[in-house]
Structure 1
Amino acid sequence: MSEPQITGKTYDADLLRRMMRYVKPYRGIFIASVFLTIVMAGAAPALPMLIEYTLDRFILQNDTDGLRAMLLIMLGLLLLQTVIRYFHTLMTSTLGQSVIRDLRIGVFNHITGLRLKYFDNTPIGRLITRTISDLETIANIFSEGVIQIIGDILQLVVILGVMFYTDWKLTLIVLIPMPLMIGATYIFKEAMKSAFQDVRKWVANLNTFLQEHISGISIIQYFAREEQEMRKFQAANAEHRNAHIRANWYFSIFFPVIEIIMAIALGLLVWYGSKQVLAETLSPGVIVAFIMYINMIFRPIRELVDRFNTLQMGMVSAERIFAVLDTDERTPDTGNMQPAQIRGEIVFNNVWFAYNDEKWVLKDISFKIAPGETLALVGATGAGKSSTINILSRFYEVNKGAILLDGIDIREYELNYLRRTIATVLQDVFLFSDTVAGNISLNDPAITREQIVAAAKQVGAHEFIMRLPNGYDYQVQERGATLSSGQAQLIAFIRALVHNPRILVLDEATSSVDTETEGLIQHAIDTLMKGRTSIVIAHRLSTIQKADKIIVLDKGEIKEVGSHQELLRMDGYYKRLYDLQFHSAGI
Structure 2
Amino acid sequence: MSGKHQHARQSKKQTKSAPKNKPTPKIKDFNGTLKRLVSYLKPHKIALIAVFITAIFSTIFAILSPKIMGLATTELFQSMVTKIKGDSGNGINFDYIINILLILGVLYLLSVVFQYIQQYIMAGVAQKTVYTLRKEVNEKLSRLPLQFFDSKTHGEVLSRAVNDLENISSTLQQSLMQFITSIVTLIGVVVMMLTISPLMTIIVLLTVPLSFIVTKKVATRSQKYFLRQRKTLGQLNGHVEEMFSGHKVVKAYNREDQSIADFNKLNEGLYQTGWKAQFISSVISPLLKFVNNSVYVLICVIGSLLATRQAIQVGDIQAFIQYIRQFSQPITRVAGIANVIQSTIASAERVFEILDEEEEVVSSNSTEVKSPKGAVSFQDVNFGYTKDHALIDDLTINVEPGQTVAIVGPSGAGKTTLMNLLMRFYEIDNGAIKIDGIDTRTMKRSHVRNLFGMVLQDVWLFNGTIQDNIAYGRENVTKEEIIHAAKAAHADHFIRTLPDGYQTILNEEASNISVGQKQLLTISRAIIANPAILILDEATSSVDTRTEFQIQHAMNKLMNGRTSFIVAHRLSTIKNADTILVMDKGSVIEKGSHDELLAKDGFYADLYTSQYARKAQVPV
TM-score by length of 1: 0.95
* Corresponding letter in the other structure for 1:193: Q
Question: Structure 1 residue 533 and structure 2 residue 552: aligned?
Answer: no
**CA contact under 8 A between 1:347 and 1:367: conserved in structure 2?**
yes
Give the Cα separation in 2 of the matches to 1:569 and 1:582. Answer: 17
Q: How does 1:387-536 map to 2 (within 5 A)?
A: 387-442=417-472, 445-536=475-566
**DSSP-derived class of the 2:509 partner:** helix
Give the Cα separation in 2 of the matches to 1:9 and 1:543. Answer: 54
**Superposed CA offset, 1:133-182 (max 9, x none):** 10011113321233432331222122112212321112223445444323
Residue 146 of structure 2 is matched in structure 1 by 116
Residue 47 of structure 1 is matched in structure 2 by 65
* Corresponding letter in the other structure for 1:186: K
**CA contact under 8 A between 1:176 and 1:265: conserved in structure 2?**
no
**CA contact under 8 A between 1:351 and 1:365: conserved in structure 2?**
yes
Give the Cα separation in 2 of the matches to 1:468 and 1:265. Answer: 75
Quickly say closer, same or farther: Cα 1:229–1:584, change in 2 above 3 A: closer
**CA contact under 8 A between 2:473 and 2:529: conserved in structure 1?**
no
Question: Structure 1 residue 284 and structure 2 residue 314: aligned?
Answer: yes
Q: Bigger CA drift: 483-492 or 137-146?
A: 137-146
Give the Cα separation in 2 of the matches to 1:103 and 1:149. Answer: 22
Residue 37 of structure 1 is matched in structure 2 by 55
Q: Bigger CA drift: 144-153 or 550-559?
A: 144-153
Structure 2 residue corresponding to 1:8, chosen from 27, 32, 39: 27
Structure 2 residue corresponding to 1:18, chosen from 36, 40, 56: 36
Q: CA deviation at 1:27?
A: 4.1
Question: Structure 1 residue 227 and structure 2 residue 227: aligned?
Answer: no
**CA contact under 8 A between 2:474 and 2:529: conserved in structure 1?**
no
Structure 2 residue corresponding to 1:94, chosen from 120, 124, 130: 124
Give the Cα separation in 2 of the matches to 1:179 and 1:374. Answer: 78
Quickly say closer, same or farther: Cα 1:497–1:10, change in 2 above 3 A: closer
TM-score by length of 2: 0.90
Give the Cα separation in 2 of the matches to 1:443 and 1:39. Answer: 57
Residue 261 of structure 1 is matched in structure 2 by 291
Q: Bigger CA drift: 2-11 or 463-472?
A: 2-11
**CA contact under 8 A between 2:27 and 2:224: conserved in structure 1?**
no
Give the Cα separation in 1 of the matches to 2:43 and 2:385. Answer: 41
Q: CA deviation at 1:26?
A: 4.0
Give the Cα separation in 1 of the matches to 2:139 and 2:474. Answer: 17
**CA contact under 8 A between 1:511 and 1:538: conserved in structure 2?**
no
Residue 216 of structure 2 is matched in structure 1 by 186
Q: Which has the higher contact order (CA 8 A, sep 6+)?
A: 2
* Corresponding letter in the other structure for 1:287: I
**DSSP-derived class of the 1:585 partner:** helix
Give the Cα separation in 2 of the matches to 1:238 and 1:141. Answer: 26
Structure 2 residue corresponding to 1:246, chosen from 276, 279, 287: 276
**CA contact under 8 A between 1:144 and 1:310: conserved in structure 2?**
no
Quickly say closer, same or farther: Cα 1:215–1:330, change in 2 above 3 A: same
* Corresponding letter in the other structure for 2:399: I
**DSSP-derived class of the 1:561 partner:** strand
Percent identity of paired positions between Structure 1 and Structure 2: 34
Q: CA deviation at 1:360?
A: 1.9
Q: How does 1:112-191 map to 2 (within 5 A)?
A: 112-191=142-221
**DSSP-derived class of the 2:351 partner:** helix
**Superposed CA offset, 1:46-75 (max 9, x none):** 111211233335763532212111111110
Give the Cα separation in 1 of the matches to 2:448 and 2:460. Answer: 21
**Superposed CA offset, 1:313-369 (max 9, x none):** 211111110011100042434341234321111010011111112322212111111
**CA contact under 8 A between 1:425 and 1:506: conserved in structure 2?**
yes
Quickly say closer, same or farther: Cα 1:52–1:143, change in 2 above 3 A: same
**CA contact under 8 A between 2:473 and 2:525: conserved in structure 1?**
no
Q: CA deviation at 1:383?
A: 1.1
Q: CA deviation at 1:101?
A: 2.1
Q: Bigger CA drift: 112-121 or 476-485?
A: 476-485
Structure 1 residue corresponding to 2:391, chosen from 361, 366, 380: 361
Question: Structure 1 residue 198 and structure 2 residue 228: aligned?
Answer: yes
Q: Bigger CA drift: 380-389 or 187-196?
A: 187-196
**CA contact under 8 A between 2:61 and 2:110: conserved in structure 1?**
no
Quickly say closer, same or farther: Cα 1:412–1:5, change in 2 above 3 A: farther
Quickly say closer, same or farther: Cα 1:330–1:298, change in 2 above 3 A: same
Give the Cα separation in 1 of the matches to 2:397 and 2:213. Answer: 72
Q: Bigger CA drift: 254-263 or 220-229?
A: 254-263
**DSSP-derived class of the 2:506 partner:** coil
Give the Cα separation in 2 of the matches to 1:182 and 1:522. Answer: 74
* Corresponding letter in the other structure for 1:447: V
**CA contact under 8 A between 1:144 and 1:307: conserved in structure 2?**
no
Residue 559 of structure 1 is matched in structure 2 by 589
Structure 1 residue corresponding to 2:110, chosen from 75, 80, 88: 80
Structure 1 residue corresponding to 2:342, chosen from 309, 312, 333: 312
* Corresponding letter in the other structure for 2:586: G
Quickly say closer, same or farther: Cα 1:444–1:271, change in 2 above 3 A: farther
**CA contact under 8 A between 1:266 and 1:294: conserved in structure 2?**
yes
Q: CA deviation at 1:447?
A: 2.0
Give the Cα separation in 2 of the matches to 1:207 and 1:103. Answer: 21
Q: CA deviation at 1:130?
A: 0.5
List runs of 5+ in structure 1 lacking aligned partners: none
State the superposition RMSD in angstroms: 2.1
**Superposed CA offset, 1:23-50 (max 9, x none):** 3554443332222123234444211121
Give the Cα separation in 1 of the matches to 2:317 and 2:60. Answer: 21
Give the Cα separation in 2 of the matches to 1:424 and 1:282. Answer: 86
Give the Cα separation in 2 of the matches to 1:425 and 1:316. Answer: 40
Paired positions, count: 586
Quickly say closer, same or farther: Cα 1:444–1:35, change in 2 above 3 A: farther
* Corresponding letter in the other structure for 1:259: K
Give the Cα separation in 2 of the matches to 1:404 and 1:108. Answer: 31
Residue 208 of structure 1 is matched in structure 2 by 238
Question: Structure 1 residue 325 and structure 2 residue 355: aligned?
Answer: yes
**DSSP-derived class of the 1:60 partner:** helix
